Chain A
């Protein structure tokens, strides 16, 4: 049994996953997919994934994503929602806007997503903070959410966060 460690360092945060690969396995139907900068595919190998090691994208409104936010950290996994305001195919960079607040999205890993100005999108990915405090979300997953009720979405986020806080405090108590 071989132990293969795949370690990818996109910018300043780490992603590491360990796979066990059986060289004697002739199963050709194995396929592994991770979205994002650590996109890996393994074929013709038998493996067992030891840990998914994928963090959930914390739900956040663009207006709450400022340098004073505890989530404004290098490599934080976030889920953001907004209307597509700009999109450069050449640079694979998009800008979404919500309530007057904007965020750059690096979409180079989203190969199958059709981006249209004016449509509403949701992205999950990791935050990259540049020296000038400008932030870019490196998206690993994206989807069109045209038809979403954004008012309901933002109100529900508040309820969800309150519920989570109460749940955690109940566990601590």
Chain B
């Protein structure tokens, strides 16, 4: 059965993300060797909000940073190697250049102390869960993090914790 939780960004708090369980992927179509589960339900994409408390830049290759949302520290990797990576060879060069520029601009905004909203895929590095970032934005609203806490709690209680057979989760995030 198709699981909608694989198809949208699940809003998770840090402690919840860090308690995801990992198993070798059973899907032959999956490019990821590891699958993540929350209370038995597979999770692929996540969204989180928190303070950037560590930042490691390898220019032109990646930005590693850590998000602290007050409940846990989530390691994030933001790849900036669009112009060198074989992953983008089939894409139009002009598109790839635009994507590289957008990613570079986003990475430049990720500085220590800012509050960032991160979206991406759950992956592993040396056995630990991390987010491979697809997009990241800096939140200017001082209440943004509070809103994320409340949304994450609400969604967990009304959607993510609901036992299978699965409720229409695609509608959950639009509430």
Cross-chain contact B146 with A152 (CB below 8 angstroms): yes
Does B58 sit at the interface, judged by CB under 8 A?
A: yes
Cross-chain contact B113 with A149 (CB below 8 angstroms): no
- Cβ contacts A142-173/B at 8 Å (1 or 0 each): 11011111001100100110011001001100
Does B99 sit at the interface, judged by CB under 8 A?
A: no
B49 CB, min distance to chain A CBs, angstroms: 13
Cross-chain contact B70 with A33 (CB below 8 angstroms): no
Q: Which listed segment binds A: B3-11, B12-20, B27-35, B165-173?
A: B12-20
Cross-chain contact A147 with B73 (CB below 8 angstroms): no
Cross-chain contact A171 with B19 (CB below 8 angstroms): yes
Alpha-carbon distance between A171 and B15 when the two chains are bound, in angstroms: 12
Chain A positions within 8 Å of B113 at CB level: 35, 110, 112-113, 141-143
Chain A positions within 8 Å of B66 at CB level: 52, 54
Does A37 sit at the interface, judged by CB under 8 A?
A: no
Cross-chain contact B149 with A57 (CB below 8 angstroms): no
Chain B positions within 8 Å of A79 at CB level: 51, 68, 70
Q: Given the known inter-chain contacts A35-B112, A143-B51, please indicate yes or no for A29 contacting B59, CB distance below 8 A.
A: yes
Q: How many chain-A residues does the 8 Å CB contact rule pick out?
A: 44
Does B159 sit at the interface, judged by CB under 8 A?
A: no
Alpha-carbon distance between A35 and B52 when the two chains are bound, in angstroms: 10
A114 CB, min distance to chain B CBs, angstroms: 12
In addition to A31-B57, A79-B51, A141-B53, 19 A-B residue pairs with Cβ atoms within 8 Å of each other are: A29-B58, A35-B113, A50-B126, A52-B66, A52-B73, A52-B75, A112-B113, A124-B68, A141-B113, A143-B113, A147-B141, A148-B143, A149-B143, A149-B146, A153-B143, A156-B146, A159-B149, A159-B153, A164-B15
What are 22 A-B contacts with C-beta separation under 8 Å? A29-B57, A29-B60, A30-B58, A33-B55, A34-B54, A49-B56, A52-B66, A56-B68, A56-B70, A57-B53, A57-B68, A143-B113, A143-B114, A145-B142, A147-B142, A148-B142, A149-B146, A163-B13, A164-B15, A164-B71, A167-B156, A170-B39
